[in-house]
Amino acid sequence: MEREETLLDVRNLKTYFFTDDGVVKAVDGMSFTIRKGEVLGLVGESGCGKSVASLSIMQLVEPPGKIVEGEIIFKGEDLLKKTPEQMRKIRGSEIAMIFQEPMTSLNPVYTIGNQIMEAILIHQDLSEEEAKKRTIELLRLVGIPEPERRFNQYPHELSGGMRQRVMIAMAMSCNPDLLISDEATTALDVTIQAQILELMKDLQRKTGMAILFITHDLALVAEMAHSVAVAYTGKIVEYGDVYQIFKKPRHPYTYGLLSSVPSLKTEKTKTPLPAIEGMVPNPYKMPSGCHFNPRCPFATERCRKEMPELAEIEPGHLVRCFHPVAVEKEAVS
Amino acid sequence: MAVEATKIEEVLTGRVETYWYLVGKRLRKHRLAMLSLVVLILIILACIVGPYISPYKVSELGSTTEVLQPPSWKHPLGTDELGRDVLTRLFYGGRISLLVGFSSVVSALLVGIIVGAYAGYFGGFLDTILMRFTDIMFSIPVMPLLIVLSSVIPGAGVWKIVLVIAIFGWMTDARIVRGMFLSLRENEYVEAARAIGVSNNRIIWRHILPNSFAPIIVSATLGVGGNIIYEAALSYLGFGVMPPTPSWGNMLQNAQYAMAIAPWLVWSPGLAMFITVLAFNYLGDGLRDAMDPKLYR
Amino acid sequence: MRKLVEVQNLIKYFPVLGGIFSRPVAWVKAVDDVSFHIFEGETFGLVGESGSGKTTAGKTIIRLIEPTKGKIIFDGKDITKLPENQLRPIRREMQIIFQDPYGSLNPRMPIGEIIREPLLVHGIGDKKEQEERVVEIMKLVGLRPEYLRRYPHEFSGGQRQRIGIARAIVLNPKFVVADEPVSALDASIQAQVLNLLLELQQKLALTYLLVAHNLAVVRHVSDRIGVMYLGKIVEVAETKELFSTPLHPYTQALLSAIPIPDPEIKKERILLQGDIPSPINPPSGCRFRTRCRFAKDICAEKEPPLIDVGSGHYVACHFVKEGKVVEYSK
């Protein structure tokens, strides 16, 4: 992939939730960049802050959550300095977002055609006739058969996969520069997931938009992304291009995650998987030092006391670890 | 690889956080509900202790000079048309009103829970029969019926009132409980219990009922206040607690004849009832918020 | 090998109620004439997408759902029509682990009670013996016995799943249906729970029916796999055989749709067209024909039977003939 100019630059983002029981640092100093036309995979398990990070970019964080620090530079301007009105214009036109559950994002009492048309009319100066034409074009673009007929259907008449296509059509309606996909294929069946991923790849190639691809599924990232950020407890622990992350994972967490997924290649079925021990720490009681140290097989005294910095260990490959894993990852996957 | 218990990380807090502990914790943050709770405790204590420390007896008649006296040091809330101390009667009447309120709610709940639980859990034919019966009970015009009844059966003891309120008051509880059972029986833990071989009765009482307590308790709390008013209305129709036993309801009813010359007779039971019912309503609201499953993490 | 479970022509239709009298107006054909067997000590994986009927099949086998038709033989005994009171002693032998670690535990019961309840219901031991057994089982599944007075909401998803597993094995069953046991868990926790299931199978000689949609998970723990599509079994084979030579076009597409965590592998996908049809109104003939690349006229006319192509490999497709595989062609 050729180096292109930076589209989105998230710097030291901190989004905290101030609850009755204490402060949850959902996103705690995340930094990442997305160039034009790049697909960045943001992976992690529940509670790693990946969804809150995306909501922070859109400024859709709701109380008790609050962005307390950081910059979100989009096309050279800090989104955190925008007024709510300016943000509203950016959302849906320059940055679009699709979610896991398309049913809750679609209004059940309007036809899908109406809803896409509305999105177009809000952001673009088009006549109703033109908007309708554009809507049908979009429905065709996302692979919905018989778009003229589907235009008049209600969300409940469509299957989960079709609804997700409608959401993508709506997201694509204003040719966004950045598409945020938050677990958009998680609720779908494998064969339908394959269709949607293919569609997203295809649209990305055709339009050159950038995608922030958020998921818990490492395999999807391997397939979709150019670069990958692995998040754990609100911090990025490893960051690099997709080959670095999957072929030479250096953080013990990334390494452990990749090893613990059952592989389709291995002959050693019915044997124990190399699982990561323990579980994600309680957000109210983060361990001192490196947050991964209680589960890490390589943890030392230093890891229990100090939080390592995200440091570059080879060009473009950043790891937050005092004792990066040295082995190449060949046996797995 | 052996699974070792010690490898499962310690994440639990030191305290056993039961559901009720969490409800209490949230309720304490609800100021109006806490204030109501304090007020209710004071009222209940006063009603229990009051008659013992009062120098007057409940139905002790005063001399003719002491009839319809306005509030004074001797009688802080004045006296009634028979010269009885209103404050003492207010304490005693509170006992009766609260007793009627609580016991009628409990009896109505018992019927409502049994009907609602079986209708909701088993569904089908049983549900149809029980719920149609509930509908029929709902459609009986209670007040006109009681007016007629009161002329036939003059006067009733406290327990008869409780019975009347329970007989005509269980239907709402039955519907709430049925609704809870209808949705809760679809839960996987109910399926899990069936997979183990747990009997239907045990599933109803041990698995589903404890999970439907929240709306039942809210409804009961609101119900106590409602039934105190109900008793007053019945007294007004002449079907309530019969004098000389005082209740806030019949004190109010008595007072109407002397309202023009002795307004304190209306004010004291009226305010007592007003504050108590209001407090029950606020407490019920607070409990609803504290037990809301949507807020429940 | 002895067959522990045998399912013959199992059918489960759910009514779709409608009209003012709540009469069935249509039927969801969740499981439609399915036959298979599970050998003692093995793990049989049942895979399929939503609407395939895999979960319904799993729950019907242990009579959590009443079968509409067909026969379920468990441990040599026909349990299809047994009334609940005669079924109760057999429930000791067959248990289930649920998908949702949150919904499957009663939030108002301490976990010690949850695990003890099966012993209580079946009247096994006195209170002290039951409590000892609970502690023993908690240790076995990797839970600290000190926590037995705690309530489910205090535990994480992985620990809750361990509690569910403890409840299922406390009676020492022979057969356990694991219904999507790891799909609700985080990646790093999935491996822990899968390892626990494998370890328990070895220690307690369990027979599993693993119902799951994740083929990598099913491959890792299953000895044999059945593939379901719209209420029918389309292919059954030993795990290795199924993954190396899938014969049914649906199995082939399903396998090719699995995402692989390796950026160097750019797979040629068999992309299926369209959506899964509704199980209320499945296509005539072969149910997969509407999405099949090879479908011909015969597929709409005749339903392909599940035939043995050798070494326990069964396929239901018109283009796979007995003993040999006929090439698919357009």
A207-241 pLDDT, tens digit per residue, is: 899 999 999 988 899 989 999 999 999 999 999 99
Q: Which band of pLDDT confidence, cut at 50, 70 and 90, is reported for residue A4?
A: low
Q: Which of C91, C106, C156 sits opposite B207 (nearest CB)?
A: C106
Q: Which band of pLDDT confidence, cut at 50, 70 and 90, is reported for residue B61?
A: low
Q: Do B11 and A285 touch (CB under 8 A)?
A: yes
Residue B15: per-residue pLDDT: 55
Class of B39-56+76-291 in CATH: mainly alpha
Residue B17 has pLDDT above 90, yes or no: no
Nearest alpha carbon to residue B93 among B263, B268, B277, B264 = B268
C112-159 pLDDT, tens digit per residue, is: 999 999 999 999 999 999 999 999 999 999 998 888 888 888 888 889
Nearest alpha carbon to residue B264 among B43, B66, B69, B56 = B69
- Backbone φ and ψ for C106, nearest 5 degrees, come out as -65, 115
Cβ neighbors of C147 (< 8 A, separation 6 or more) are B12, C111, C138, C154, C155
Q: Residues of A with CB below 8 A from C210's CB? A: none
Taking 70 as the pLDDT cut, the residues of chain C under it are 322-330
Residue A183 has pLDDT above 70, yes or no: yes
- For B142-182, give the DSSP string: HHHHHHHHHHHS--B-HHHHHHHHHHTTSHHHHHHHHHHHH
Q: Do A223 and C260 touch (CB under 8 A)?
A: yes
Domain coordinates in residue numbering, chain B = 39-56+76-291
Q: Which of B8, B19, B297 sits opposite C143 (nearest CB)?
A: B8
Q: Which of B8, B202, B206 sits opposite C142 (nearest CB)?
A: B8
Mean residue pLDDT across chain A: 87
Residue B14 has pLDDT above 60, yes or no: no
Burial environment of residue C327 by CB neighbours within 10 A (0 to 12, 13 to 18, 19 or more): exposed
Q: Do A282 and B7 touch (CB under 8 A)?
A: no
Helix (H) or strand (E) holding B89: helix B86-122
Count contacts between A and B (CB, < 8 Å): 15
Q: Alpha carbon of C50 to those of B268, C30, C96, C180, C231: distances in Å? A: 67, 10, 20, 12, 10
User: In the predicted model, what is the mean pLDDT of residues A282-289?
Assistant: 86
* ipTM of the complex model: 0.85
Domain coordinates in residue numbering, chain A = 6-94+176-319, 109-175
Q: Do C164 and B192 touch (CB under 8 A)?
A: yes
Q: Residues of C with CB below 8 A from B2's CB? A: 199
Q: Do C105 and B189 touch (CB under 8 A)?
A: yes
Burial environment of residue C255 by CB neighbours within 10 A (0 to 12, 13 to 18, 19 or more): middle
Q: What CA–CA distance (Å, rounded) separates C33 from C301? A: 18
Which of A102-106, B279-283, C38-42 shows the lowest per-residue confidence on average (mean pLDDT)? A102-106
Q: Alpha carbon of B72 to those of A173, B51, B69, B85: distances in Å? A: 80, 19, 8, 11
Class of A6-94+176-319 in CATH: alpha beta
Highest mean pLDDT among A313-327, B113-127, B220-234, C270-284: B113-127
Q: Which amino acid is at C82?
A: L
Q: Do B211 and C106 touch (CB under 8 A)?
A: yes
CA distance A46 to chain C (A): 7
Cis peptide before A155 (omega within 30 of 0): no
Q: Residues of C with CB below 8 A from A220's CB? A: 259
Q: Which of C99, C139, C151 sits opposite B19 (nearest CB)?
A: C151
Q: Residues of C with CB below 8 A from B8's CB? A: 142-144, 159
User: In the predicted model, what is the mean pLDDT of residues B177-196?
Assistant: 92
Q: Which band of pLDDT confidence, cut at 50, 70 and 90, is reported for residue B11?
A: very low
**Architecture of the domain made up of C3-93+173-325:** 3-Layer(aba) Sandwich (3.40)
